[in-house]
Amino acid sequence: MSRVRNFCAGPCTLPAEVLDEVSNELSDFEGSGMSLIEMSHRSPEYVAVHEDAIDRLRRVLEVPDDFEVLFLQGGGLLQFAMVPMNLVPAGSTAGYVRSGAWGKAAHGDATRASSSYVAWDGQDNGFTRMPQPQEIEVRSEARYVHVTSNETIEGIQLRELPDLGVPLVVDVSSDFLTQSVEWERVDLVYGGVQKNLGPAGLAVVVIRRSALDGCAADLPSYLSFPSHAKAGSLLNTPPMFSVYVTGKMLRWIEARGGLAGMAERAERRSSRIYDVIEASTGFYTSPAEPQARSRTNVVFRLADPDLDARFLAETRAAGLVNLKGHRSVGGMRASIYNAMPDEGVDELAGFMRDFAQAAG
Ligand code: PMP
């Protein structure tokens, strides 16, 4: 069986080594006679896997001691509601940077959960850049400002979290563990693991302990951050398979230089595709402003959209799949997450060069 190069925006490709390990131990986990996902989530075997994954994530993401790591379900999407429900008390509000489709969606849910306002809106410039810090409106009563560190659909990214003098809440769903977090500026970061870290099912929340102490006290148990923290993220049955594979993926990342290694890979690999776009003298274009170009989701267009179908058919035939851009943006999108092998990126760059020469 030959594996394709999967540039899907999520769920993502996983390393062949990790998949092999999982399949080898799937039916009999450590001599127990059953797979890990058939065990009780209270069994010593699972609890060890669960705690190891949390500790490992803390280490790899360089999470300071005054933050708690929570493993939850409901994806990034549940956090759009859960964060304001927990953090924004009556009489307070929260600012939302609408830098793209996901920032806009986060704000939409926040308006239903608590008071909120638009701190910056990139719609007028077609979501092609991120705001400068001084463009973001910070109201005195704001509990936090929410930013999306990487807009998955438009392919734009914050290179550094802004210092606004108010805590940030950051949706890191699509650039999780590809760049470091300026922890002193944030109260909470969250993201699903299914792009850079593992299979869908697990969402990670990293929350400052002082913010945890200030959370709303009257929420139903699953919606309350403190109730998950108190239970060590074992309040109810966790997404065991996703936690298990995420633990393996974290080990894989540690063996490849950890966060610094992943940041270097993301920079180097995305640059390879942006370089082809730049060198193509207009055959390919990137709608994102150069300083905001995402290192995980490379969005590009062909100058002649009549060639889109041929580009997609020929890439697919070459084993390079899931390159079609989001329907709201059009064109192409190459999602290059942590587990994409370098060879996959080289093959795509080579294909793009050859295609431009043959069709241009
Ligand atoms: N935020 C961003 C930036 C995303 O890319 C996504 C998923 N594509 C989400 C939130 C929603 O995440 P989930 O599917 O895990 O609920």
Domain ranges of the chain: 5-14+258-359, 16-254
197 phi/psi in degrees, rounded to 5? -130, -25
- pLDDT tens track of the chain, all 360 residues? 689 999 999 999 999 999 999 999 999 999 999 999 999 999 999 999 999 999 999 999 999 999 999 999 999 999 999 999 999 999 999 999 999 999 999 999 999 999 999 999 999 999 999 999 999 999 999 999 999 999 999 999 999 999 999 999 999 999 999 999 999 999 999 999 999 999 999 999 999 999 999 999 999 999 999 999 999 999 999 999 999 999 999 999 999 999 999 999 999 999 999 999 999 999 999 999 999 999 999 999 999 999 999 999 999 999 999 999 999 899 999 999 999 999 999 999 999 999 999 997
> What residues does 335 pair with on adjacent strands?
297
Q: Is the CB of 75 under 6 A from ligand 1?
A: yes
CATH architecture classification, 5-14+258-359? Alpha-Beta Complex (3.90)
CA-203 nearest atom, ligand 1: 15
Q: Is the CB of 191 under 6 A from ligand 1?
A: no
Q: CB under 8 Å to 58, separation ≥6 — which residues?
A: 69
Site to substitute for ligand 1 among 12, 82, 152, most atoms within 8 A of C-beta? 152
Residue 357 Cα to ligand 1 midpoint, Å, equals 36
Give the chain's count of helices (H) and strands (E): 10, 14
Kind of pairing, strands 186-192 and 5-6? unpaired
How many C-beta neighbours within 10 Å does residue 175 have? Answer: 28
Domain 16-254 top-level CATH class: alpha beta
Residue 1 Cα to ligand 1 midpoint, Å, equals 31
Q: Establish whether 248 is a catalytic residue.
A: no
For residues 148 and 100, the answer to whether their CB atoms sit within 8 Å is: yes
Q: Is the CB of 171 under 6 A from ligand 1?
A: yes
Q: Is the CB of 174 under 6 A from ligand 1?
A: yes
Alpha-carbon distance 188 to 211, whole Å? Answer: 8
Q: Which burial class, exposed, middle or buried, applies to 251 when counting CB atoms under 10 A from its CB (0-12, 13-18, 19+)?
A: middle
Site to substitute for ligand 1 among 173, 193, 296, 329, most atoms within 8 A of C-beta? 173
Q: Are 5-14+258-359 and 16-254 the same fold in CATH? A: no
Q: Establish whether 324 is a catalytic residue.
A: no
Q: Establish whether 171 is a catalytic residue.
A: yes
